[in-house]
Amino acid sequence: MVATDFWDAVGNTPLIRLRRASEETGCEILGKAEFMNPGGSVKDRAAVGILGEAVKRGLLTPFQPGTVVEGTAGNTGIGLALAANARGWKSVIVVPETQSREKIDFLRMIGADVRLVPPKPLSDPGHYVHTSRRIAEEMGAVWANQFDNQANAAEHERSSGPEIWEQTEGKVDAFTCACGTGGTLAGTARALKARNPGVRIVLADPHGSGLFSWVKTGKVAAEGNSVTEGIGQASKVPGNLTGAPIDDAVRISDEEALYQCFRLLAEEGLSVGGSAGLNVAAAIAVAKSMGPGHRIVTVLCDSGARYQSKLFNPEWLREKNLPVPAWLA
Ligand code: PMP
C-alpha cells in the first residue's frame, strides 16, 4: 500500500512484544512503536489531528499561505513543522531551552522558526505555552494549542485506540502511558473503553508531576523532579486529560525509567527515549498488580536518538547521579 504523503504515513505503527518485561511479569507486555512515525514520535498524530481540524474550520488551506505556531517540548513542534511543510505552510515553534539539543537542532534543520525561551512556571506569562499563544495572535496565525485543543485526543481516539484494538484482536487487559498533554492517554482510553469498559487504564507519572496525586486524590500536587522530557504536569490538568476514563495511576522514578530504556536498547534492539522507558516501567508495575496471564499495552513515544546528548551521555548521567549503562561507561 502507498501512503499519499507525510500526513497519510502517520500512524499504523507496529505493536511490539517486549520480551524482557513480559518474562519478568508472566504477562504479555506490548509497546506501540510510535518512534516509527515519519516525524519520529507519537506527537505526529496530534500534529495531523490539530492541523486537519484547522483545515476543516477554514483556518488553513492546503498550499495557500498559512502559519502554525506552537509551544512544545519539541516533538509536537517536529510533527507540526513537517506536516506544515507537506502542505506549504510555515511553522513557528517555541521551545524551553532546557529541552534536548537534538530536538532543537532538528526543528531548525526542518525549517521551523525556532524561538527558545527560558523555563518558567505555567503561572508566568513568559511560559512557552503563553509565549506561543501571544506570537500566534500577533501574527494572525493558527495556534495549535495542543494542551486544550480536543483535536489532539480526538486523533488518538480515531487512530491509536482502534489500531491497538485491531492489533490485539480485542485481547487487551490494560493500557498505561504517561501524559504531557494527555492526548495519547485520553483518546486511546476512550476508544478502548468504548469497545470494552473492562480495559484498565492507568496513568504513568514521573516525579515532579502532580497528575499521580490528581488521579489518586483529586488534587494536583507535585514533588521532586525528573529528567524525562515531554511528560508530567506540575500544576494544571490539561484540557485534553480532563474527563478521561482513568482507573488508576502509578509513579515511576527516573532510575526505573532509565533502567527500562537502557534494557530495551541493549537486550531488545529498541532505541527509545525516557518517556518510553517510564511507560514500560509502568506497564511492568501494572502487570505485577494484575498478576500473570494479562496483556498490557503501552507506548514507545520517541527514539533514543533524540536524547544522545543527555540520557545516553555518560558525563551527563554522572552529573545527574544516574546510572551509566555498561557499554557507555
Ligand atoms: N513522550 C514524549 C517524548 C513527548 O514528547 C510527549 C509529548 N510532549 C509525550 C510523551 C506525551 O504525549 P501526550 O502529549 O499525548 O500526553
Q: What pLDDT, in 10s, does the model give residues 242-273?
A: 999 999 999 999 999 999 999 999 999 999 99
pLDDT band at 308; cut points 50, 70, 90? very high
User: Does 238 contact ligand 1 (Cβ within 6 A)?
Assistant: no
Same domain assignment for residues 316 and 200: yes
What is residue 280's predicted lDDT score, i.e. its pLDDT?
98
Same domain assignment for residues 227 and 323: yes
**128, 231, 271, 302, best to mutate for ligand 1 pocket (most atoms within 8 Å of CB):** 231
Decide if 318 is inside a domain: yes
Q: How many structural domains does the chain have?
A: 2
Backbone angles phi, psi at 177, to 5 degrees: -165, 160
User: Does 182 contact ligand 1 (Cβ within 6 A)?
Assistant: yes
Decide if 154 is inside a domain: no
Mean pLDDT of 171-192: 98
User: Does 32 contact ligand 1 (Cβ within 6 A)?
Assistant: no
Same domain assignment for residues 79 and 129: yes
Q: Quote the CA–CA distance of 275 and 6 in Å, as a whole number.
A: 24
Catalytic residue among 43, 103, 193, 310: 43
**41, 42, 209, best to mutate for ligand 1 pocket (most atoms within 8 Å of CB):** 42
The tens digit of pLDDT for each residue in 127-169 reads 999 999 999 999 999 999 999 999 999 999 999 999 999 999 9
Contact 302, 35 (CB under 8 A): yes
As a whole number, the mean pLDDT across the chain is 97
Decide if 153 is inside a domain: no
Residue with CA nearest ligand 1 atom 12? 180
Query: What global pTM score does this model have?
Result: 0.97
Going from the Cα of 306 to the center of ligand 1, the distance in angstroms, rounded, reads: 13
What is residue 216's predicted lDDT score, i.e. its pLDDT?
98
Same domain assignment for residues 219 and 251: yes
Mean pLDDT of 100-114: 96
Same domain assignment for residues 248 and 135: no
Res 277 pLDDT > 90? yes
Going from the Cα of 258 to the center of ligand 1, the distance in angstroms, rounded, reads: 16
The tens digit of pLDDT for each residue in 292-307 reads 999 999 999 999 999 9
48-63: buried (b, 16+ CB within 10 Å) or exposed (e) per residue? bbbbbbbeeeeebeee
Mean pLDDT of 54-63: 98
The domain boundary, picked from 84, 116, 143, lies at 143
Q: Quote the CA–CA distance of 112 and 143 in Å, as a whole number.
A: 15
Same domain assignment for residues 34 and 123: no
43 has catalytic annotation: yes
What is residue 7's predicted lDDT score, i.e. its pLDDT?
98
Decide if 85 is inside a domain: yes
pLDDT band at 67; cut points 50, 70, 90? very high
CATH of the domain at 89: 3.40.50.1100
Same domain assignment for residues 300 and 186: yes
The domain boundary, picked from 143, 168, 183, lies at 143
User: Does 49 contact ligand 1 (Cβ within 6 A)?
Assistant: no
Contact 264, 277 (CB under 8 A): yes
Same domain assignment for residues 166 and 274: yes
Same domain assignment for residues 188 and 268: yes
Same domain assignment for residues 319 and 296: yes
What is residue 285's predicted lDDT score, i.e. its pLDDT?
98
Decide if 49 is inside a domain: yes
The tens digit of pLDDT for each residue in 279-289 reads 999 999 999 99
Decide if 59 is inside a domain: yes
Going from the Cα of 73 to the center of ligand 1, the distance in angstroms, rounded, reads: 8
Contact 26, 286 (CB under 8 A): no
Helix pair 43-56, 75-85: axis angle to 10 deg = 50
Decide if 306 is inside a domain: yes
Q: Quote the CA–CA distance of 250 and 179 in Å, as a whole number.
A: 12
Same domain assignment for residues 15 and 74: no
* Residue range of the domain that includes 177: 7-41+160-328
pLDDT band at 110; cut points 50, 70, 90? very high
User: Does 275 contact ligand 1 (Cβ within 6 A)?
Assistant: yes
Res 29 pLDDT > 90? yes
CA of 275, closest atom in ligand 1: 1
pLDDT band at 73; cut points 50, 70, 90? confident
User: Does 301 contact ligand 1 (Cβ within 6 A)?
Assistant: yes
Same domain assignment for residues 180 and 307: yes
User: Residue ranges of the alpha helices (H) in 243-303?
Assistant: 254-268, 274-290
Q: Which segments within 23-182 are labelled E, that is strand?
A: 28-33, 67-71, 90-96, 113-117, 142-143, 174-178
The domain boundary, picked from 86, 117, 143, lies at 143
Quote the ipTM score.
0.99
Decide if 241 is inside a domain: yes
